[in-house]
Amino acid sequence: MSTLPVLLTAALIAGQPRAGVDAFNQALADATRRMDDSAIVALWEPDGVSLLPSTRPIVGRAAIAAFVTSVTSGLKGARMTRYDQGCHDVEIAGDTATEWCVEHQVVALADGSTFDGWGKLLLVLHRGADGRWRLRREMWNQAAAADSSALR
């Protein structure tokens, strides 16, 4: 796209909070599916907090970037063959949005084995001065079982 349509799209999204959250969710799914470190980190606010199991709270975009890099560098040669995500009960209050999601990922590992996992996310988003929604807080835990209906 040239610059003008991009700016128009951004302006449109800024004026429609729910559309902006949907755009965030799509960007999160795309970045995760591609295992694209810099695209994932760009979805975070500078003072975001990530709360992962058996891990100390990861506070701030720099610490989150270091963590993401450490995870993907431990997965050299891996490729995500599938990532699906369904987010529910989006609620928006001013520049704050919350939602919970169910995700399913399938990763082909370098040794030929496959990781197939299901998880849940609780997300708090914040809308920046540019109208874009970014992650402010995230927590993840394991899902109970495969549940394709929750991915819609």
Residues in the site for a second copy, rule: CB under 8 A?
49, 51-57, 88-89, 91, 93-96, 98, 100, 102, 120, 122, 124, 136-145, 147, 150
What's the closest the beta carbon of residue 115 comes to a second copy, in angstroms?
17
Which one, 81 or 141, has the nearer CB to a second copy?
Answer: 141
Query: What distance in Å separates the CA atoms of residue 143 and residue 67, rounded to the nearest whole number?
Result: 22
Identity of the residue, 38 or 142, whose beta carbon is nearer to a second copy in the bound complex: 142
Q: Nearer to a second copy by C-beta: 42 or 51?
A: 51
